[in-house]
Structure 1
């Protein structure tokens, strides 16, 4: 009897466990099914609960998210961000606009919309497995918020802030060397107060992180001098000693110690030598007599123009179907200004000798003529073309200078090409002329006008040659020189750059040509039989610009009106490119979509006001100083 009871009891326990397991399995199946349904429903959408900078993207497709983000960032860009100190408020907007004919504009900051959307879409998908499921659950029942991707030109922002607020600062002054007659004396240091621009920059980053434009209040900080009068006065005997050495000589030398030849010598007279002397603070807080870099810079920069011999890369061209060299590679030397100042301090101030040597640095060529027989540049692989008709004189000049500097350039196999790096310095020393940029109601000269014609032509070349594009940004607004919309690329140092990879397996040789109003870039190399197909750009979402913006300025006579920017419609554009190879190559076709977003740009006119006059409520007042 007891045996039967035990068997029945065990059977009951097993039965109960079976019931529990069945329920568990049913729940698991139901949950699994719900997860599958949930995943299927959101297969082309960002999962609920995902947001970027407080902007909810949950449930949106990639296209919807892009449109939402563009609308948000366009609105923020149009409004700008206010920076305030006491009673002064200045609005900074992300786009610095050139005079309309220049085609020059650059951005202080910009959001990378497609990267943001890709990151949002990857949440709950990227890692797979349990990690992905955890992200889905966290987003659904909580929230996953991440910071948006953007680029910020910190230097230009800081320069802009200083330009707007530096008249309100009273920087501290080090104890400094002055002369009463011929006698050196030390003027006392002064405490100062400056604005904390780094803190303001952090405020800007916080706004960008949250897709916000809250007012940023600038704070002050004490600016304590590094050099005080008491310690500086201990150097007066040394000052008198080095003054007695004047005039000072700077010598360009050739050869090694003991067998040096002086090629040329420059004289620093007594008056200028006085100006060069400065009491400095050392690395461990000590004070010493040194050379004022700012005072010496102008003289050394002029000397550099005489002595610099930049390296020359080997350059090649196509003649009668063959590659021929038209420039032999040659290493060069350039004046190292920082090291030359150290040389002066060591030789003259420490060793008390009158003559200091210029310090020359080796400037090594990147491409040499040993490559000429193994280039494999025998076929035309692609062409880029653009039209700059209607460009002003300086812009046309800059296009020619930029194109000529790139002609004959070699790009190595697997190299990521950077256009900014290839162009090098863009200033008067390399032959460029300034164009006009609108800043604070004034048209001011700046270098870079015309180079976006180079960027756009290079982009079209790389597209037609089927090369992978790794960095490209369209212009902020549509420019007539770069039509059709969607096929342009802007460049500006330090960003945006234009980059691509030479994945042909051989050298690429660039040939540039200006013909009338047309700019042509050709790539020569060895074909891997790839074929490139592109679609015509689709232009949509046309947005009309707002009313004319009137800016008061003291740069014009009262009542005189000058319109400096034309109105431009906003728009979106995209085109597709498919790169394919023969079946024998074993490569899958590569499809790319290149998207562009252009903001609407209102006409801007300057109008002269009475000096010191007050702006009306319908215009923007700009200080003409």
Structure 2
């Protein structure tokens, strides 16, 4: 097929003397220009698309909002911090149940209902990342042009929710009245109402999990039934007594119920189900069917009281001997077998028995002190350290408390280590003291300053060992305690965590060592060293941003002319670190990217003190003027610089 460009016309002219022919001037048609412009547009679009994809590595795509707050272009940590700052009091929709003209309002404070911003941010991050390339690109364009808003789902206490539904069911249920014959007079039956607790709870949970933006007003799921007269009532009315149903059939149950004992001899548990509650569990009129869904919901709440989590052993490794000793003993747990207990209750009711079995099963610990020889804890895999010399006494104390939480902790093979799970709540009740922490765009005194020194050190040990990093966030700005930027890990319980996967195939023992004299914290990881070689490259800096001019704020406690620096400036930058892992003849490389915001120096001055020229204006109260540009919020909250 002849191409467009080949259609250019060429002519050869000869002179009468036979001179050499000359090539005529090359001519281009309008179609040629259209093709060239088209090619250039395709190239520009391709470059633009690639640039767009590269810039949004680890960032949420533009046009995406969470609860109508723009989070496009932000990392997940930045988005989480933005939502926390922009929506301190999330407007919770009213939730209620109703039946006829009765209504029951859900007390959200008791259920601890709160928005799950972290889940919403993760959903926002997945926009434009879940399909094939063209599908992802189309979703990105849709978000950019039309916008995609994600409402956060709601977190709540499921046990309290179930108890709420049971309380409503107890109030809304109506026993009804069977038909009666008084001589020649027939008194008609009155239908009763039973609340399907299981179905109502399921509908309520579905509504809350659907991130509602308006009031949730759900009807109770109920069934009507006609009560049957008891043998005594039928006899007194002169009626024939029906034959007794076959044993094993729930139709054999009388209208009145007795308490049903639930017994577990192994754990010496003896309790009973209330007759009123048993009647609420029965449905279907004369057939008297057991509402197993409602019973399972009740038992799930009971399991919260009966279940005991197994306790893992804490261990100590001796590098000199290679031996492992027990630091804390392990203990078995127990768990209510809901399915087996439902079956036992169903059989007891069907056979009109007064006792059923409460089935509790033994749950072994994941780290059993009786199986140490099988764990493969025999050598040092990797270590990580960081320096804290010069820290305040409170900060040092917090480092010691946090480090102790991980002493002897063992991670089974294939399991994920979670810093937040190990450190638990960073509160005064948990042993932590007030020290400097990062709050928004300032450094302030708060509980737990210094905990991030511990999370950073564990991260360095895991990173150098080649473990897959499941979740990690850098600090909002460069923190001098951690040396070269790019190898830190901030946490903020319970939302911002540091996690890694133990992929060695053996158990992993964690040992913290805190040297308060030298100001060094070290984490040693013991187990079975995998056949891998890990090489960590030198951190590379880019996109360096100078901080704004220092800001000054008035502190009434300072004297005239007195000045005190409370924030030190840091440059903003992007830092990338490449890690190469050679394992079993295979080489893989991953890149760790950290984005740090510039940090402005801040001085406090006494009233009337002369402020240097061109400072960032502040109000007399020390609050930055909201009409002026301020330093961006750090990329993530943290419990300690």
User: TM-score, normalising length from structure 2?
Assistant: 0.47
Larger radius of gyration: 2
TM-score, L = length of structure 1: 0.48
